[in-house]
């Protein structure tokens, strides 16, 4: 049997904190317990927020924690052609459309919808896309594209869900409401998600699914903040004919105020803790892995 494959996939848009340490150590420990492989993936598709010095700091902090990973590291910004190919496959299935509204226009449309009653929100709390771009006549679409108007490519969720209904995943960890075992995917809760933007020809959902498949990841260990995103990931895997990994979502490490940790809070940053004399064993203990 092939050894299981795990991955830790941080974005280099800030320094790692205790929450990242917990996730990385869980992946590392699972790989060791199971005789599996641990990969590290740098999720740097957002060129405006990702910086090489944060990437260098990720390597330094993980090595300090005693984690080792296989090289070469996959850096998403170097693989845009892979994501483009997946997008083309979805487009060829008639599941993708360009939407030309700016963020401000979308906010105005949502406000107008709300005037008529409550407007649905996605599991992260953002209002669902209210636009009508899906029904723009083809001639109008071409005119806008030729005119150079910026657009995002969105997934036609209703049609996608008709193609692949009844998706589930195997949850080896636990969702925020105690979900475990076979979980029913509810991608429709996300509405017509963005798959690519004009300036970034991919999105988190698309690239994570393509990479996990290309890298043969068999068990995805990550925070519960991404539990609901798994519904979109399962849908994209099914549409793109990609294998289904198992998922192990873990509880989030929270700050003293009970809130999710932030990359800008120095009190839980690994570099700050290291400078204050905390040892890697101390970090393990403070995330409950001692
Ligand atoms: N890059 C994502 C993050 O930094 C994690 C992606 C994943 O584990 O699926 O939160």
**pLDDT digit string, tens, across residues 6-59:** 999 999 999 999 999 999 999 999 999 999 999 999 999 999 999 999 999 999
Q: Which atom of ligand 1 is nearest to the CA of 23?
A: 8
Average pLDDT in the 96-112 region?
Answer: 95
User: For residues 83-106, b (16+ Cβ closer than 10 Å) or e, as one string?
Assistant: beebbeebeeeebbbbbbbeeeeb
pTM (two decimals) = 0.96
Q: Kindly list the protein residues whose Cβ atom lies closer than 6 A to any atom of ligand 1.
A: 9-11, 43, 208, 222, 226
> How many alpha carbons fall within 13 Å on the CB side of residue 60?
12
Q: Is the pLDDT of residue 171 over 90?
A: yes
Q: Is the pLDDT of residue 266 over 80?
A: no
Q: Which atom of ligand 1 is nearest to the CA of 208?
A: 9
Question: Distances from the Cα of 247 to the Cαs of 49, 170, 172, in angstroms?
Answer: 27, 6, 6
Q: Is the pLDDT of residue 150 over 90?
A: yes
Q: How far is the CA of 141 from the centre of ligand 1 (A)?
A: 33
Q: Is the pLDDT of residue 267 over 80?
A: no
Q: How far is the CA of 143 from the centre of ligand 1 (A)?
A: 37
Nearest alpha carbon, ligand 1 atom 2:
10
Pocket probe mutation, ligand 1, options 208, 213, 233, max atoms within 8 Å of Cβ: 208
Q: Is the pLDDT of residue 257 over 80?
A: yes
Nearest alpha carbon, ligand 1 atom 3:
10
Average pLDDT in the 282-288 region?
Answer: 96
What does the pLDDT read at residue 260? 82
What does the pLDDT read at residue 199? 81
Strands (E), 57-180: 74-75, 96-99, 152-155, 168-171
Q: Is the pLDDT of residue 78 over 90?
A: yes
- What is the DSSP code (8-state) at residue 258? S
Say which CATH architecture domain 80-252 belongs to.
Answer: 3-Layer(aba) Sandwich (3.40)
Binning pLDDT at 50, 70 and 90, where does residue 289 land? very high
User: Which residues belong to CATH 3.40.50.620 in the chain?
Assistant: 1-78+254-290, 80-252
Q: Encode pLDDT of 172-185 as tens digits.
A: 999 999 999 999 99
Binning pLDDT at 50, 70 and 90, where does residue 240 land? very high
Q: Under CATH, which number does the domain 1-78+254-290 receive?
A: 3.40.50.620
Q: How far is the CA of 257 from the centre of ligand 1 (A)?
A: 23
Please state the φ and ψ torsions of residue 168, each to the nearest 5 degrees. Answer: -135, 175
Do 98 and 131 contact (CB within 8 A), yes or no?
A: no
Q: How far is the CA of 115 from the centre of ligand 1 (A)?
A: 35
């Amino acid at each position: 049997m092939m050894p299981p494959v795990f991955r830790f996939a941080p974005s280099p848009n800030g320094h790692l904190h205790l929450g990242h340490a917990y996730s990385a150590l869980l992946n590392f420990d699972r790989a060791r317990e199971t005789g599996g492989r641990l990969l590290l993936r740098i999720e740097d598709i957002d060129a405006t927020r990702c910086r090489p010095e944060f990437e260098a700091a990720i390597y330094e902090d993980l090595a300090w924690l005693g984690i080792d990973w296989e090289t070469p590291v996959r850096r998403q910004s170097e693989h845009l052609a892979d994501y483009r190919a997946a997008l083309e496959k979805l487009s060829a299935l008639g599941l993708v459309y360009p939407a030309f509204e700016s963020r401000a226009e979308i906010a105005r449309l949502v406000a107008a919808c709300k005037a008529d009653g409550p407007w649905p929100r996605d599991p992260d709390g953002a209002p669902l896309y209210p636009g009508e771009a899906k029904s723009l006549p083809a001639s109008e679409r071409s005119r806008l594209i030729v005119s150079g108007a910026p657009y995002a490519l969105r997934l036609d969720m209703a049609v996608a869900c008709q193609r692949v209904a009844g998706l589930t995943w195997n949850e080896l960890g636990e969702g925020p409401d105690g979900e475990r075992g076979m979980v029913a995917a509810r991608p429709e809760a996300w509405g017509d998600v963005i798959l690519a933007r004009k300036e970034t020809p991919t999105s988190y959902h698309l690239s994570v699914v393509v990479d996990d498949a290309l890298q043969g990841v068999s068990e995805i260990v990550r925070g519960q903040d991404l539990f609901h995103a798994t519904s979109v990931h399962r849908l994209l895997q099914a549409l793109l004919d990609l294998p289904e990994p198992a998922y192990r979502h873990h509880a989030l490490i929270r700050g003293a105020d009970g809130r999710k940790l932030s990359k800008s809070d120095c009190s839980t940053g690994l570099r700050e803790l290291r400078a204050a004399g905390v040892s890697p064993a101390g970090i393990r203990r403070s995330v409950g892995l001692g």
